[in-house]
Structure 1
């Protein structure tokens, strides 16, 4: 168990740094298979068996998340049933929360906002959200983005407020699984940025993007790329062409090809060429994108 938990922590660290690469997806899926295989190769107590199922579910959720983050959505969906089954066998509420949270994001990117909200509510309904406000905060922050996708401004803004209130109540010294370590004030501001962008509340989106960048941990390179891309979109929405292009160019080159980051930059490019097709900034940005390809 110690060995597999150490490998799980390494997988989470790789995701935080590099995002959802295909190599990480395959690695996590292979570790899930290895962990399940230990059940048949060794004799263990019911407690250890439950823990093994929980780690296998966590590895499967990591593989699922890597596919989502890399925008390989058809590859992500088959992991869902496997992860839910393993989490159920483990009777592990932490992992079940994680699986439903990832499912919501997957459905969001699949263009199924009603399913995203249902998955988000399933995550919110897990018992861990009642005992630890940090989980409740994350569930509400994700629900804010799902409601924003549906154009439900009232529900989205309410969810952002509840997410912040829950986060402020959470004990930051509480021990949580390694995959929960990513959730801090910067991540909450990042999710709020996504929600405000969908609601076309550009100034609020920019404010939260700046707050996220100010607090973002140095090793979270994928999240830095996402936030700079979102900042560029927020500034472009306000007609601030020059700072928007400057923000987009701050996306680390290593992250520009990440599935979700690349999608945002493509969206930015489309909007920029529509708003200011003949500007010098647009020409410079297009040259930058071609050079990076």
Structure 2
């Protein structure tokens, strides 16, 4: 007897195992009749092999509810071709779904053929494409209110599907992971825009959903964002602790690229605590881990991190520790390697280069370098984090003795561009 290819295909699409399908069928039967069903793995196997071509009425109703379609669409063949249901089946239907004693109210409220959406791998892929589009927008423009709103709308769509749809446990975990990632984009957008209170709210939701998703990658990203938010609040000790928490996540020990990022993030905070030895040790560990990293499938959010970004972070650390010459060299290395699509990151690396040149006393070169940021970000508002760095550069420039023409020209350009952005 031929196997049931349609049912097998639907199970693969929704990532439902034989055991899980049996449980879900039994659960549905219990919901509408008050008594747990008798379906088992062998029952499902008989459906798949074609040994059972037309399940009995309660199981058919449950299958149609689980998959959201008629039994015929699942590859089942009605006995006697298009014969109507037998009187015996009608009697079972009436007894089971209408006169079930204490569960009559439930039976009346829950239709035999559920209208709940069945969530499958195609839904996950479609939502992930939306997520990737938001990340590409972030790389071009940086954090802004529209990006935050779009990310929250994406999270809302995912959670609405979770609430109103049925899915396998594996798909449900993926959906929680997607909801977490959308909230992570919203949190990151606020961090980049320096909307710190809203960032904290989204980060709290991100942390909760990452736990529900049981996703170690999301948990790593939570600690990475916690460190960045604490840094913006000048809570450097907490930021160091978050960086070390990221180092302790299991996935970090398995992927040197993530380990490198966690060590680099820790080094930034140690440098701001003026702990030179610890900062240099951490950035050295980040470099060593980067050297061990190999090509492998990774989530798209970490696409920004590689040798170029490590050089950019090294420049910040070296400049903070007073090594302006080494910071300038690291900034040049970062800009030589950064892909063009990471426009905001190139702008940040350019500001770091300007700081390094300013700290070596070359005011004219530093202001010329800083001015390139406005060209890089032309056509898009300047994100809050980048605006803060430019503001810091401007204030430090004004504190220098003398009133060099280069400084005056920069001040004029700064005021003009600031009003436009």
Q: Give TM class, smaller chain.
A: over 0.9
1:135 aligns with 2:261: no
Deviations 1:50-79 (A, max 9, x none): 000111111111110000001111110111
Q: Which residue of 2 is the match for residue 38 of structure 1?
A: 161
Q: Which residue of 2 is the match for residue 153 of structure 1?
A: 276
How far, CA to CA, are the matches of 1:198 and 1:232 in structure 2? 13
Q: Give secondary structure in 1 for the equivalent of 2:399.
A: helix
Q: Which residue of 2 is the match for residue 15 of structure 1?
A: 138
On the 8 A contact 1:276/1:282 being kept in 2, the answer is no
- The counterpart of 1:258, out of the listed 378, 383, 386, is 383
1:103 aligns with 2:219: no
- The counterpart of 1:123, out of the listed 219, 236, 246, is 246
Deviations 1:110-150 (A, max 9, x none): 11111111111111110011111010001011111011111
Kindly report which structure 2 residues correspond to 1:153-232, keeping only aligned pairs within 5 A, or say none: 153-171=276-294, 173-232=295-354
Could you tell me which runs of 5 or more consecutive residues in structure 2 were left unpaired when the two chains were aligned: 1-123
Larger helix fraction of residues: 1
1:49 aligns with 2:176: no
On the 8 A contact 2:227/2:242 being kept in 1, the answer is yes
How far, CA to CA, are the matches of 2:317 and 2:331 in structure 1? 11
On the 8 A contact 2:155/2:179 being kept in 1, the answer is yes
Q: Which residue of 1 is the match for residue 414 of structure 2?
A: 289
Could you tell me which runs of 5 or more consecutive residues in structure 1 were left unpaired when the two chains were aligned: none
Which one has the largest radius of gyration?
A: 2
In the TM superposition, structure 1's runs of 4+ consecutive aligned residues that sit over 4 Å from their partners are none
How far, CA to CA, are the matches of 2:156 and 2:383 in structure 1? 26
On the 8 A contact 1:19/1:66 being kept in 2, the answer is yes
Shift of 1:29: 1.5
Q: Label 1:199 to 1:50 Cα distance change in 2 as closer, same or farther (>3 A).
A: same
Q: Which residue of 2 is the match for residue 267 of structure 1?
A: 392
On the 8 A contact 1:225/1:256 being kept in 2, the answer is no
TM-score w.r.t. the length of structure 1 is 0.97
How many positions carry a matched residue from both structures?
A: 292
How far, CA to CA, are the matches of 2:323 and 2:198 in structure 1? 33
| Two-structure CA RMSD over aligned residues (Å) | 1.2
1:62 aligns with 2:185: yes
Q: Give secondary structure in 2 for the equivalent of 1:181.
A: helix
Q: Give secondary structure in 2 for the equivalent of 1:275.
A: coil
Q: Which residue of 2 is the match for residue 278 of structure 1?
A: 403
Shift of 1:271: 1.0
